[in-house]
Amino acid sequence: MNEPTKILLIYTGGTIGMIKDPVTNSLKAFNFDQLLSNIPELKLLSHEIHTLSFEDPKDSSDFNCEDYINLATIIETNYEIYDGFVVLHGSDTMSYTASAISFMLENLTKPVIFTGSQLPIGDLRTDAKENLITSIQIAGLKNETKSLIQEVGLYFEYKLYRANRTTKINAEHFEAFASLNFPAMIESGVNLNINYSCLIHSKARKLKVHKQLDNNIIIIKVFPGLNEATFSHLINTPNIKGIILETFGSGNTKTEDWFLDTIRKAIRKGIHIVNITQCSGGSVEMGKYATSKHLLEAGIIDGKDMTTEAAVGKMMFLLPKKLDKNVFKTIFETSLRGEMK
Ligand code: ASN
């Protein structure tokens, strides 16, 4: 008889496991065992499900690099034992964590599916049950003997996305995430409709976990009134090594001398600056307009169609590798985990 598929469910916090504090009326994390008792349906799945909780589950707004490393270590420690992993995580920063984890886990051949919910699992109208149950089913999907999903995914409201392509777009709707530059890999209806052409097929190699991250980075969103003093202050923030510059449209910015000089000086100082569009969909195309050609000439990194969340994760992951400026740029402009075209 075939061995049952083994899934590790990792609880990190988030609304899915929260309950209203009767005194303050705010949502706060509650005990993981209580969470499981709210989903008797889990017992109906044929998979063998084991659970593990962060010692101190929290709202994802409180997540930091140590939490990413903790999560990656849990996956590494249990990698050989389980066929797949489901990570319960707050939705607010789920795309940031899942993107960072996608870079930290190299040669992944098993699914790591992030999910959560907009309403707590104990709420009558909760979206948590469907999200959780389908995520576990997806984590257990096989293609012959191998896992069907061999990457970090994010499942929410009937869709499985490549995690490092997602962004949280709605604080109210159950459909809280979007992946505008890459199609859903699975759509859940009466059947699970699998978009085979979008899946990553990894070569069987040993998992390598990168546990060094550098958060000396900053996101700067340009806006029409941005002035020299503010821009220069932000770019010259002490210890900053990487900047995610969120630009207009297909990667455009103002062309005034002070703006370009500030960027050129920072690049000369060794700061890595990447151009990411502030539009939710589409791509940076440096050189398409005169208003982006100067950035190309200044040596700014082309973020192409990457999300801000993926660019943040990639920057934190690449900075500790102490790469030469040009090598850093080339690697940043190359898709490592399917995060860009
Ligand atoms: N604040 C919550 C969190 O990200 C939101 C949620 O999970 N829906 O942890």
Lowest mean pLDDT among 25-34, 88-97, 151-160, 266-275: 25-34
Q: How far is 161 from 240, CA to CA, in rounded Å?
A: 32
Is a pLDDT exceeding 70 seen at residue 1?
A: no
Q: Residue 14: which of 105, 137, 101, 96 has the closest Cα?
A: 96
Mean pLDDT within 248-257: 96
Q: In what order do the strands lie in the sheet with 217-221?
A: 217-221, 242-247, 272-277, 301-302
User: 308 C-alpha to center of ligand 1: Å?
Assistant: 19
**Phi, psi torsion values for 155, nearest 5 degrees:** -110, 125
- How much is the pLDDT for 181? 98
Nearby residues of 331 by Cβ (< 8 Å), 6 or more positions away: 318, 323
Q: Which residue has the higher pLDDT, 151 or 16?
A: 151
**How many Å separate Cα 277 from the centre of its chain?**
17
CA distance 114 to 89: 7
Contact 127, 117 (CB under 8 A): yes
Domains of the chain with CATH codes: 6-209 (3.40.50.1170), 217-332 (3.40.50.40)
Residue 39 has pLDDT above 90, yes or no: no
Residue with tokens 């994010």: 154
Continuous H helices in 122-278: 128-139, 228-235, 257-268
CB 335 within 8 A of CB 341: yes
Contact partners, residue 264, CB within 8 Å, separation at least 6: 298, 299
Banded pLDDT at 149 (limits 50, 70, 90): very high
pLDDT digits (tens, 9 = 90+) for 204-250: 789 999 999 999 999 999 999 999 999 999 999 999 999 999 999 99
Give the Cα separation of 318 and 210 in Å (integer).
10
188 CB neighbour count, 10 Å cutoff: 20
Mean pLDDT estimate for the chain: 95
Cα of 112 from ligand 1 centre, angstroms: 19
What is the structure's pLDDT at 333?
98
C-alpha of residue 118 to centroid of ligand 1, in Å: 7
Which atom belonging to ligand 1 lies closest to the Cα atom of 93? Answer: 4
Average pLDDT over residues 166-183: 98
Q: How confident is the model at residue 35 (pLDDT cuts 50, 70, 90)?
A: low
The predicted-structure confidence for 11-23, as pLDDT tens digits, reads as follows 999 999 888 777 8
How many angstroms separate the CA atoms of 103 and 68, rounded?
11
Q: Is the pLDDT of residue 186 over 90?
A: yes
pLDDT of residue 14: 93
**What 8-state DSSP symbol labels residue 320?**
G
Q: Output the ligand 1 site: residues, CB below 6 A.
A: 13-15, 59-61, 90-92, 116, 118
pLDDT grade for 32, boundaries at 50, 70 and 90? confident
Task: List, as one string, the DSSP characters of 75-87.
Answer: HHHHTTT-SEEEE
Flag the least confident range among 183-187, 188-192, 286-290: 286-290
SS3 content of the chain, % helix, strand, coil (to 5): 35, 20, 45
Retrieve residue 130's tokens. Answer: 């469907």
121 C-beta neighbours (distance < 10 Å), count? 24
Active-site amino acid positions: 15
pLDDT level of residue 2 (50, 70, 90 thresholds): confident
Instruction: Give yes or no for a contact between 87 and 112, defined as CB atoms under 8 angstroms apart.
Output: yes
Q: pLDDT at position 143, please?
A: 92
pLDDT, residue 34, reads 67
Mean pLDDT of 282-310: 94
Q: Residue 134 above 80 pLDDT? A: yes
CA distance 17 to 39: 11
Measured between alpha carbons, how far is 121 from 123 in angstroms, rounded to an integer?
6
Pocket test for ligand 1, best of 12, 15, 54, 89 (most atoms within 8 A of CB): 15
